[in-house]
Amino acid sequence: MNAIAFRDATLRLGGRAVLAGVSLEIATGEFVGVLGPNGAGKTTLMRAILGLLAASSGTIQVLGRPAARGNPAIGYVPQMRSAFGTIRLSGFDFVAGIVDGHRLGLPVLGKSARAEVDRALDLVGARELARRPLVETSGGERQRLLLAQALIGRPQLLLLDEPLMSLDPHHQRGVVELVRSLQAELGITVLFSAHELNPLLGALDRVLYLGRGQAALGTVDEVITAPVLSRLYGSEIDVVRLKGRIFVMSGGQDAERDEHRHWDGSAHVHDFQGAPHDDA
């Protein structure tokens, strides 16, 4: 069975077709890296899988059923918000606060709910750090807590939206390795979006590259090529391989980093202030 199947699906946001007539199939148990320039539709694609955005044409099947909101089999880690820093709770309560959150009633945890929270925290190795206040955790630790939240309810499909954003290379590797080991241990399907391919190399099974309304899905060698990416970017792209890393270059510039810097530089500018990037 496919975990995700798009058939000729078009996704529109405010009249603009973010994805136009896309067909793709992702098998159960795959680790797929979702890449592409900003605005290419990485978040939109995930929102469609979650059933928060209906396809304007075509169909989207998730775990054998049409995509629909409230699917308990999907875990989701949205992009981190700045509001995070104001939540004055322990990591445990932050994770536990969402248990059974779709049902009315008092948020009082029973024995089994508490065990479920402990299990999720153990899976991401956050049992200890969950005792600390959320505001005192680092970006990498917060990603682990968010991952624990997403694992509540034992999903079969995990959607991770830019979990590496604003992490330094060391923490980026930590998150990728953690997700990879979770995926292997739990046998779940993972969609992992990122700005850059390199942190994901070695962990991913296939790449889903989005650009200009189109999508290319395949192995790194199939997708990260000059012809495919030139089509997705709409300009001439060179792919340079160097010491096991891959750079996507546009006119001599690193296209992925370029996107990073110019398309939404305001949100990431801090990335470049202190910690150099993997590819810097």
Partner 1 sequence: MLEYDFMRNAFAAATIVSIVSGLVGYFLVLRGQTFAGHALAHVGFTGATGAVLIGIAPIWGLVAMTVAAGFGMGALGERLTQRDVAIGIILVFALGLGLLFLHFFTSYAMQATALLFGNVLAVDIGTVWILLGLGIFSVAVLAVISRPLLFASLQPELAEAKGVSLRLYSILFLVVVALATAECVQIVGVLLVFALMVGPAAAAQRLTIGIGKGILLSAGLALLEAWAGITLAFYTDWPSSFWITTLSAGIYLFATLVGAGGTRRPARIGFRSLP
User: Site for partner 1 (CB under 8 A): how many residues?
Assistant: 55
- The length of the chain in residues reads 280
Nearest distance, CB of residue 80 and partner 1, angstroms: 6
In Å, how far are 39, 91, 266 from 271, measured between CA atoms? 20, 25, 10
The Cα 37–Cα 279 span in angstroms is 17
Our finding on whether 280 is near partner 1 (CB under 8 A) is no
Q: Which of 1, 15, 65, 102 binds partner 1 (CB under 8 A)?
A: 102
| Pure H helices in the chain | 42-49, 91-96, 111-123, 139-151, 169-186, 220-223, 226-233, 255-258, 265-268
User: Please, what is the minimum distance in Å from the beta carbon of residue 148 to partner 1?
Assistant: 11
Is residue 83 involved in binding partner 1 (CB under 8 A)?
Answer: yes
Work out which of 13, 54, 80, 226 binds partner 1, going by CB under 8 A.
80
Distance CA 268, CA 165 (A): 8
At how many degrees (to 10) do helices 139-151 and 111-123 cross?
130
264 binds partner 1 (CB under 8 A): no
Contact pick of 27, 239, 275, 278 for partner 1 (by CB under 8 A): 275
* 162, 42 contact by CB (below 8 A): yes
What the block records as the tokens of 45 is 């694609």
CA distance linking residue 170 with residue 247, whole number of Å: 19
Residue 242 within binding range of partner 1, rule CB under 8 A: no
Interface with partner 1 (CB under 8 A), residue from 64, 87, 114, 253: 87
Q: Can you list the alpha helix ranges (DSSP code H) found in 7-62?
A: 42-49
Cα–Cα distances (Å) from 102 to 46, 69, 70, 120, 148, in that order, read 20, 12, 9, 18, 17
Q: Does 35 bind partner 1 (CB under 8 A)?
A: no
Shortest Å distance, C-beta 274 to partner 1:
5
Mark residues 49-78: x for contact with partner 1 by CB under 8 A, - for none. -xxx----------------xx-x-x-xxx
- Segment contacting partner 1 (CB under 8 A): 5-13, 212-220, 247-255, 268-276? 268-276
Work out which of 11, 31, 41, 94 binds partner 1, going by CB under 8 A. Answer: 94
Q: Which residues, 165 to 224, sit near partner 1 by CB under 8 A?
A: 166-168, 171
Q: Footprint of partner 1 on residues 140-169 (CB under 8 A)?
A: 140-142, 149-150, 166-168
Sheet-wide strand order for 237-242: 237-242, 245-250, 253-254
CB 189 within 8 A of CB 3: yes
Please report whether residue 266 would count as binding partner 1 according to CB under 8 A: no
Residue 134 binding partner 1, by CB under 8 A: yes
* Residue 101 φ then ψ, to 5°: -65, -15
| Interface residue list for partner 1 (CB under 8 A) | 50-52, 69-70, 72, 74, 76-80, 82-90, 93-94, 96-98, 100-108, 133-142, 149-150, 166-168, 171, 270, 273-275
